Amino acid sequence: MKNIKLLIILALIISSCGDKKVKSFDAVIASNNLTELKEKRSEIDTEQQKLNEQIALLNEKIAQLDTIKKIPLITTFSAKQEVFMHQLEIQGNVTTKSLLTITPEYNGILTHVYVKEGQKVNKGQLLAKIDDGGLSQQLAQLEIQTNLAKTTFERQKRLWDQNIGSEIQYLQAKSAFESQSEAVNQLKQQMAKTNITAPFSGTIDNVITEQGSVVVAGQSQILRIVNLENMYIETDVPEKYISDITIGKHVVVEFPILGKTLETKIRQVGDVINPANRTFKVEVSVPNKDKSIKPNLTARLKINDYTNEKAILIPLSIISENAQGEQYIYIITNKNAQDEGEVKRVIIKTGKTQGDIIEVLEGIEDGAEIVQEGARSVKDGQTVKVIELPNGNNSEKNENSNAKN
C-alpha cells in the first residue's frame, strides 16, 4: 500500500512538470506572471544559443564539402598611359568682317540700281547711282573756266620766261589757274559721292531700296553685300582660361544645323577682360570653301586647353568617396591561373574630366588591373573572379571608350 501511494505521488509530480514544459508561449504571455515570463525568456535564449552553434557547425561543414565557390564576378581593364587632350566646350556665332550694309554719302533721288540680289560683284564696281542735282552742269562750267585760266597762265609764263611783263601778272595768272583746278577737283569729289560702288568683292545679299526713292546720306540703307570667304567664329571665354587659351590652339567646330564638323585653330585672343561678365574675346578662323557656312550661324567649339602626354584615364562611374572626402577605386591583386584575385581599395587623386572619363594624377600605376563592372558592390579584401565581356576583351572596351573622348 505504501508503494502504491509513492507511485501515485511520483505520477502527479511528473504530470505537473510535463504541463509546465508544454505551456505555450501565448499562454505565458497571457498569464502576466513575471516569474513565468522571465523563465520563458531564459528558455528561449538558451535554445537560440544552441541553434546558433548548430548553424555555425553546419556552415563550417558545408564550406568543407562544397566544391562550387560562390565568388562575385567582375570585369576589369588595365591602366595605361596615353595622350589626354582636355577640351573646353563653349558656344559661338559665325561672323565675317566682309558683311556690310551700304548707305549713301549724298542726299538725292536714287536714279539707278545696277545689280540684283545674288549677283557677284568686284571691288570698286558701280552698284547704284544718285541724281547729282545739277553738279554735272556746274562741273562743265568750271572746267571751261579752268581751261581759260590754264591758257592765260601758260601764255603769261612764256612771256615771263622771256623777261616780258611784270611778275605780278605772272603770279596772278598762276593763282587763278590753280584756284580753278582745285575747284574742279572738289566738285569731282562731290559728284563721286553720287556713285555707290562695292567696297569689296562679294555677293549682293539684299537690295533694300529701289530706284526712284529719295535717300539720305548716312541713314538710308541701299544694299547689303557679303563675302563668305573670310569667315570666323567669335565667342566669349571665362577669364579663368586666359592662360590656357592662346593663339594657335587646336579647335574642333561643330555646326548642329548643318551636321558638319571641322578642325581649325584660334587666330586671335582678346587682351581685355569684359568687366560685365568677366570674359575675353576669342576668334576662330573657319574655312568655308563650299560657302555653306553663313553669318550668325550657331557653332559649338571644343578648344584644347590642356594636354597630358602620359595620362591614365578611368571612367567616372567606378569612383567612390569615403567619409573623409577621399576618392578611391578598387584594383585586383594576387590573381591566380583561374582569374581569381583579391580586391584592394586604392585612394586616388584626380584631375580634369572629359565626358564620362577622368584623369588620374596619383594612386594608380601603369599596368594596374582596375575593377570596372562590379566596382560598386565589391569590398576591400574580397575574393573575386575576373571574367571577360561577351563582346571581347575588357581592356579593349576601355581603350575604345577613351578614344571616343
Q: Which three cell numbers stand for residue 314?
A: 578611368
pLDDT for 54 beyond 70: yes
pLDDT for position 101 = 92
The answer to the question of residue 376 being in a domain is yes
Q: Is the domain of 106 the same as that of 220?
A: yes
- Rounded Cα distance between 389 and 385, Å, is 13
Q: Is the domain of 216 the same as that of 232?
A: no
Name residue, grid cell 505565458. 28
132-136, 202-206, 243-247, 314-318: lowest mean pLDDT where?
132-136
Q: Is the domain of 106 the same as that of 182?
A: yes
Q: Is the domain of 163 the same as that of 188?
A: yes
How many domains does the structure of the chain reveal? 4
pLDDT for position 275 = 93
Average pLDDT, integer, range 83-112: 90
pLDDT for position 67 = 52
What DSSP string describes 239-274? GGGTTT--TT-EEEEEETTTTEEEEEEEEEE-SS-B
Q: Is the domain of 289 the same as that of 316?
A: no
CATH code of 263's domain: 2.40.30.170
pLDDT for position 70 = 72
pLDDT in tens, 261-304: 999 999 999 999 999 999 999 999 998 888 889 999 999 999 98
Average pLDDT, integer, range 162-173: 83
pLDDT in tens, 325-374: 899 999 998 888 888 889 899 999 998 888 888 999 998 888 899 998 88
Q: Is the domain of 158 the same as that of 232?
A: no
The answer to the question of residue 3 being in a domain is no
Q: Is the domain of 107 the same as that of 195?
A: yes
pLDDT in tens, 201-245: 989 999 998 988 999 998 999 999 998 888 899 999 999 988 889
pLDDT for position 238 = 92
Full residue range of the structural domain in which residue 293 is found = 90-97+227-306
Q: Is the domain of 141 the same as that of 107?
A: yes
What percent of the chain has a predicted confidence (pLDDT) above 90? 31
Confidence of residue 397 (pLDDT cuts 50, 70, 90): very low
Q: Is the domain of 112 the same as that of 207?
A: yes
Average pLDDT, integer, range 16-40: 71
- H/E stretch holding 69 reads none
- CA neighbor of 332 nearest in space, from 345, 315, 348: 345
pLDDT for 124 beyond 80: yes
What DSSP string describes 157-220? HHHHHTT-S-HHHHHHHHHHHHHHHHHHHHHHHHHHTTEEE-SSSEEEEEE-S-TT-EE-TTTS
pTM score, whole prediction: 0.55
The answer to the question of residue 204 being in a domain is yes
The answer to the question of residue 5 being in a domain is no
pLDDT for 22 beyond 70: no
